[in-house]
Structures are given as C-alpha cells and as structure tokens.
Structure 1
Amino acid sequence: MSTMPSRQPKRKDAIRTRAALLAAATECFARQGYEATNIRAVCAKAGANLGAVSHYFGNKERLYREALVLAHRELVAREPVPQMGAGDSPRRALRNWVRYLLRIFLLRRAAHPYAGRLIAWELRDPTPALDDLIAEVLGPVRQALNQIVAAALGDADEPELRARCANFVHGICVFHDQNRELLQRFGHPVPDREEELVVLADTIVEFAMAGIKRLRTQPSATSPRRRKTTRSRPSRG
C-alpha cells in the first residue's frame, strides 16, 4: 500500500522562509526607509531566492505594509486599549489611556529594535501603508480617546471641539516620544521606568482635564468662526 508523501516539511519550510523575509525586510526598512531598501538585498539577507517576495507577499509595498503594521501591532496588543467603561469617571479613563499610550511610546517602542525607526521613516515620507496602520492598529486607540474626551466634555461635546481636545492630549504624548533629545538637553529627560511614567501621565491628565473643564463652561469661546463685531457709530455733535 503506497502512502502519499507528507506535505508538512514543505509547509514548515514555507513558514520559515516567509518569517525570514519579513524579519530581514523589517530590519532593512528600519535602517534605510522604504525607497532605499532593495528587495534583492532583503532576499539575500533572508537566504531566499529573488522571487520569494513576490511569492509570499506579492510585492515590495505589501511586504513593507506588513512589516510596519506588525511591528506596531506587537506594541499595542500587549494589553487591551483602555475604554470609557460604565461607571468610570472621565478623569480615571483618561488617566488609564494616557498611561497606556506613554507605555507604548516611551517604554515598549523604545525597547523594540525597529518600530521607532519604522514610524520615523513613515512619518517623514508617508506611504499608503500609513493608512493601513491607522485602520488596523492606531485607529482603535484614537477612537477610545475620542469617547473619553466626549464624556469629559459632557453637554459641551461636539465633533470639532472633541477632535481638538483629543489632538491636544494625543499631541502631548507624541511630543515626549519625538523630542527625547531636546527634553534631555532641557534637563527633563523622558521617563524610562513605569513609576516615572505614571507621574508624567498624571500631570498630562490634570492639565488636560483643567482645560476641558474651562471649555465646558465657555464653549462659545472655542468656536473657530469669526465673531461679528459691531462698530460704534460716531456721535453727532
């Protein structure tokens, strides 16, 4: 009785080859950026033939997309994105969210061998992969912030004001990630330990909540529309 040869070894080889290509490409993209990375060099580094990228990923663009998205998914997926839960106060929810994002930016991405450089290249010269990164990884994180800010604004909540408040909170977190050297030279290095991160996060939250409270009491003052002014008529004398 004849037996069919097992396909398991070939399948394992394919998985290994694909993983080797992705690892090699991630390193090359992080070091050189998308444009300067050569597929021939990626295949050589992975020990694969030149047609392997086309076979496993389709093309260079799809390979890059997977490298960028996977690196950041690894950072985000280590713990659930904090949400505005039933019974939560906006302050507590915002504190949880800011701590979560700072852990990603200041601790995890700093420790990741390639994620920081990948996003730096991408933001310097954006590709369509940035849209995929937002849709699959960063978008849900931002949506959670939007919901928290909406709850903090209460009756004053409306889309434009909500977006500007969320941009402010998000922007402060990003600032500490992208300006490490500047802050170091100012004498205020960014945290590299959890206990220091908590102090920074709580400061950001108190600052943000005070601003949101102010906007809640005077929402009309935040309108970007130009107010109509009435000029006083000269007196007739």
Structure 2
Amino acid sequence: MQQVEPADTKRRLMDAAGEVFSEKGFKAATVREICRVASANVAAVHYHFGDKEGLYKALLVEAFENGLRRYPPNLHLGPEAGCEERLFAFVHSFLLRTLGSERFAWCGKLMARELHEPTEALDHIVERYILPLTEQLRTIVAEIMGGEAKAGDTRTLHCTMSVVGQCQYIFRSRSVIGRLIPDLRFDEAGIEALARHITTFSLSALRNLPPVEPEPA
C-alpha cells in the first residue's frame, strides 16, 4: 500500500478548502466536508493547520501570495516607467488576479466572500497585502494628479478608491455584466482591453478634476 506523504495531504486539504470555502463561505463550510473532498482524515486539519480558522487563514494567504507572485502590481515594469504605465500595470494585474480562470480560480470568489462576510482573518490580510497595495496605488494617483496632490491626502484617497472601485465592480458583478454584455470576454485579451479602458477613463478623470474649493470661513 502506497504511503501518503504529509505534504501531499496538506496540498489536497488546501485545494479542497479552496473549493468548499469559496462556494459556501467560512461559516457554512465544515472541516468534515473539506476532508471528504480531500480524501483526508479530519485529524489532518488539526495536524497541519490547528483548526478551521487556521486552514482558512492559510488559504487566504496562499490566494494573495499566488496572485501577487504571478501578477505583481507593477507587472515587472522597470524603474523608468512613467505613472501612466504604472497605473495600467496596477489595474491590469488587479483584473488578472481576480478574473482569472486557471487552477486557482476559487481565489477571487473566496476573497469576494471574505469582503462580504469578513472574518477575523481580514485584519491580517488588510495589513499584510491590501494596505501596501493601496499605498502603492495612492502614490501613482498622486503623481498623475500633479500639483499639490499627496498620497496621504483625502482627495487622493478618494480618487484611489474610484480607480479600485471600477476594478471591484467588474470583479463583483461579473455574472450581471455577462448577461448585459454577452459578447464581453474575460480571457487574456478581454481582460487587457478592460484594463486599458479603466486606465484611460481614470487618467482622463484624474487630470481634469476641478480645483479644490476653499473651506467656508
């Protein structure tokens, strides 16, 4: 009888957990169902992850790590790249990470569930991944806005949220968009076209913002 290696069991648990958590959410998913899908003993979850919460947190971390490793926010641009190129790379990488349909297609769905029904793991994800990504985008947005715009001011933050909001809309409303625009593709070429549209739209808005009105006396 062939012996199952612990590393193989851990991998099967992660893959099974990705499917189950993304479909049912953290609360409804059970360790027993995950182990059934993974063909693993319930005790294996405790051995490798401690408990259900530990497995879920490890899964979220893997989802971000895999996505950022494959599609980093600068898409490997050189240091000489301008702010327009960097904005397109950021938007394009965001869409590639969330709309991809490869082996880890559950990653985007899992994160959507986490944002809709946050768990204690969200604080860790925000601090380790989302905050650094947001700061990076705020720097790009401030450079595009020019003038006295700074990455830390409120207006720049609002503009940054507007850019991300366009990406999030496509991510969250993909099933609706598919019904409204049946011919819209979410393959590699389609995702690039969406990224270029969001970038062009955002550049136009950021460069044509009305002056800030002075505070009333």
In the TM superposition, what is the alpha-carbon distance from 1:85 to its structure 2 partner?
6.1
Of 166, 172, 189, 2:166 maps to 172
The answer as to 2:48 corresponding to 1:56 is: yes
Aligned residues: 213
Offset from partner CA, 1:169-207 (integer Å, 9 cap, x none): 111111112112322333375432333333332222222
The answer as to 2:149 corresponding to 1:119 is: no
- Say whether the 8 Å CA contact 2:163–2:198 is kept in structure 1: yes
Query: 1:77 is paired with a residue of what secondary structure?
Result: helix
Letter in 1 for 2:197: T
Query: 1:156 is paired with a residue of what secondary structure?
Result: coil
Partner of 1:3: none
| Structure 1 residues 85 and 164: alpha-carbon distance in aligned structure 2, compared to 1, 3 A threshold | farther
In the TM superposition, what is the alpha-carbon distance from 1:110 to its structure 2 partner?
7.1
Offset from partner CA, 1:131-189 (integer Å, 9 cap, x none): 22333333333232111112112232132111111101111111112112322333375
Give the TM-score normalised by structure 2. 0.82
Partner of 1:78: 70
2: CA distance, partners of 1:82 / 1:61: 32
Offset from partner CA, 1:108-129 (integer Å, 9 cap, x none): 2576342233123212211122
In the TM superposition, what is the alpha-carbon distance from 1:86 to its structure 2 partner?
4.5
Task: Detail structure 1 runs of 4+ shifted over 6 Å in the superposition.
Answer: none
2: CA distance, partners of 1:31 / 1:200: 26
1: CA distance, partners of 2:192 / 2:35: 43
Of 178, 187, 193, 2:181 maps to 187
Mean Cα displacement is larger for which, 56-65 or 114-123? 114-123
Q: Percent identity?
A: 28
The answer as to 2:39 corresponding to 1:67 is: no
Larger Rg: 1
Aligned-CA RMSD value: 2.8
Of 69, 84, 95, 1:91 maps to 84
Unpaired stretches in structure 1, ≥5 consecutive residues: 1-8, 229-237
1: CA distance, partners of 2:204 / 2:105: 37
- Say whether the 8 Å CA contact 1:180–1:190 is kept in structure 2: no
Structure 1 residues 1-237: aligned runs within 5 Å: 13-82=5-74, 86-106=79-99, 108=100, 112-158=104-150, 159-187=153-181, 190-215=184-209, 218=211, 220-221=212-213, 227-228=216-217
Mean Cα displacement is larger for which, 56-65 or 122-131? 122-131
1: CA distance, partners of 2:97 / 2:44: 33
- Say whether the 8 Å CA contact 1:76–1:137 is kept in structure 2: no
Mean Cα displacement is larger for which, 175-184 or 145-154? 175-184
Partner of 1:4: none
